[in-house]
Chains A and B, each alone.
Chain A
Amino acid sequence: MPKAKSNTTKSRLNIQKTYKIYIGGKFPRTESGRYYKLKSADGDLLGNICLSSRKDFRNAVGAARGAFKGWSGKSAFNRSQILYRLGEMLEGRSAQFKEELVIQGATPKQAQAEVASSIDRLIYYAGWADKYQQVFSSVNPVASSHFNFTILEPTGVVAILAPEKSSLLGLVSVIAVTIAGGNTCVVLAAESAPLSAVTFSEVIHSSDVPGGVVNILTGRRKELLSQFTMHMDVNAIVYSDNDTETISKIKRDSTSNVKRAIIYKGMDWSSAAAESPYFISDVQETKTTWHPIGK
């Protein structure tokens, strides 16, 4: 019997990954069929990255809206468990994340630190997911004979322009605070370093996060910005880079349906200030109830 050819010899073809977007728990290519070339610091081609269109965005918002009821209706403890699971899955794939950060220009040491902080951040917010409500809610003293209390409720569908400078840690931070509080989101990955976001969507996919809770697009910020700011079914928009023109556009356009415009201008996501339950409360609405009581 002739010996079967080993497929581990040098002549083996490289199987390269197709970087796709993540909508409603599925990995489609952009409906527009457009791509941009992502180059490494040395000028090597890293991949063809989807140039998502406004229709991809619309579909993603539709998926996020559809997932909102189920996700916000889960118990806080269950969301906490799922966030913890995200951390576990990220830990298991930390080597791949490090490698991708390095080919996108980070030093091995920086990459190592960023991946570790990202995992820790998920665990941190997993802890807060079933505790922020107790901390931020209140029973309010009022003069009339009412039992008056205030609680937080998720704001709804959150559109996130992921931090350009911190393509993994920044991304994980803004997603974690959003979903910890029961929101669903549509994220536009960092344009210059989208690989971590695409790979993170695979982590999300394998972590019991229901489809549609997190949707991740890649593409040109300039092209999609108006869609993010003007969509009537988006309830909040998060931005954390420095561009003042973008910030004023977000603030101006958000008036269309009174979206929350949440701006973390120039936030350093690796600093101690970037980790706090207040980030969760930023994407929450407060509801105050006046309940009549007898004296």
Chain B
Amino acid sequence: MSATLTLDIPDFRNSPRVDEVGIEERVSRFTKRSIKTEAKNTGLRLILSMIDLTTLEGKDTEGKVRQLCYKARHLHDSMEGIPKVAAVCVYPSLVRIAKKELEGSGINVAAVATAFPSGQAPKAVKLADTKFAVKEGADEVDMVISRGKFLEGDYKFVFNEIGAVKEACGEAHLKVILETGELSTLDNIRRASDIALYAGADFIKTSTGKISPAATMQVTLVMLEAIRDYYYATGKMVGMKPAGGIAKSKLALHYLVMLKETLGNAWMTSKWFRFGASSLANDVLMQLAKQEYGNYQSMDYFSLD
């Protein structure tokens, strides 16, 4: 059994090279699709259902997490037919609070683990962090890869680490954060994606949100293509989560266009695509209100993040 497994794992040094100019050209096309009225309305609702409402600050308190969970359950009660968000994403120490607040809502709790955001901790600490988050009730775990080891070329280390965290997750879904802002090149991003995919990630995610640049359409396209190639090679679907820097609904719609034209309709649900964002939800709500009431909206009439 293990012999066949090793045969299936490709040599990551030979991950496909990425044509940077081609990616730029392709991305610029996605931003030129005209999405109006009904399609826009459907898209905006889909975006809301794909959001992981996130708070990852050192200053986070139980009160802040309760407030965020309340927001997740009551995005904008004065409008009807507003979908709920996919998950609330917090630090492991606050998972218990979030879990309690979201009970019965169908909204998942995601926890960042493995010494987020730097990932600079011994393996045992990372695994303990993960197990703690799962024990507290996290439905999803967002881990960070060891970028230092990756850049040193120690792909085996990165691969094994993801595998070990996946094992520690048990039933919880694993999202693997590549922190693309620290990987320098699109070639590296493609290679890191391949490592995460073959190591057992349920989702691959661009960024922690702590490093600039965070998610960009270029980076996301490279990762989507890696997911597509992985699907062709193994038949397994893996999800994608761009995170950080997506604050406007127009940009989020561009991402949906890219998703549809790269992976197709099967991925167009919150099961396979997420936005890691905090201020995006309000912008989408303002757009939906604009569609419904006809006039441009003000932040004064929407809840704070």
Contacts and interface: CB of A to CB of B under 8 A. Distances in A.
A231 B298 CA distance: 8
Interface string A228-249: 0011110000000000000000
A256 interface: yes
A231 B296 CA distance: 5
B298 A233 contact: yes
B300 interface: yes
B299 interface: yes
Interface residues on B, range: under 10
Nearest to A233: B298
B222 to A, nearest CB: 30
Contacts of B299: 65, 233
B294 A233 contact: no
Contacts of B298: 231-233, 257
Contact of B300 (A54, A58, A233): A233
A276 B295 CA distance: 34
Interface string B274-305: 00000000000000000000111111110000
Nearest to A226: B295
B295 A58 contact: no
B292 to A, nearest CB: 13
A259 to B, nearest CB: 11
Q: How large is the interface on A (under 10, 10 to 19, 20 to 34, 35 or more residues)?
A: 10 to 19
B239 to A, nearest CB: 33
Nearest to A54: B296
Contacts, number: 28
B290 to A, nearest CB: 9
A81 interface: no
A231 B299 CA distance: 12
A129 interface: no
A232 B297 CA distance: 5
Contacts of A58: 296
A48 interface: no
Contacts of A94: none
A256 B295 contact: yes
A67 interface: no
B1 to A, nearest CB: 58
A65 B296 CA distance: 13
Nearest to B289: A232
A51 to B, nearest CB: 19
A72 B72 CA distance: 33
25 contacts: A54-B296, A58-B296, A61-B296, A65-B299, A226-B295, A227-B295, A227-B296, A230-B295, A230-B296, A231-B295, A231-B298, A232-B295, A232-B296, A232-B298, A232-B300, A232-B301, A233-B296, A233-B297, A233-B298, A233-B299, A233-B300, A256-B295, A257-B298, A257-B300, A257-B301
Given A227-B295, A232-B301, A257-B298, 15 more contacts: A54-B296, A61-B296, A65-B299, A226-B295, A227-B296, A230-B296, A231-B296, A232-B296, A232-B297, A232-B300, A233-B296, A233-B298, A233-B299, A256-B295, A257-B300
A-B CB proximity, top 5 nearest: A233-B298, A230-B295, A232-B298, A231-B296, A232-B297
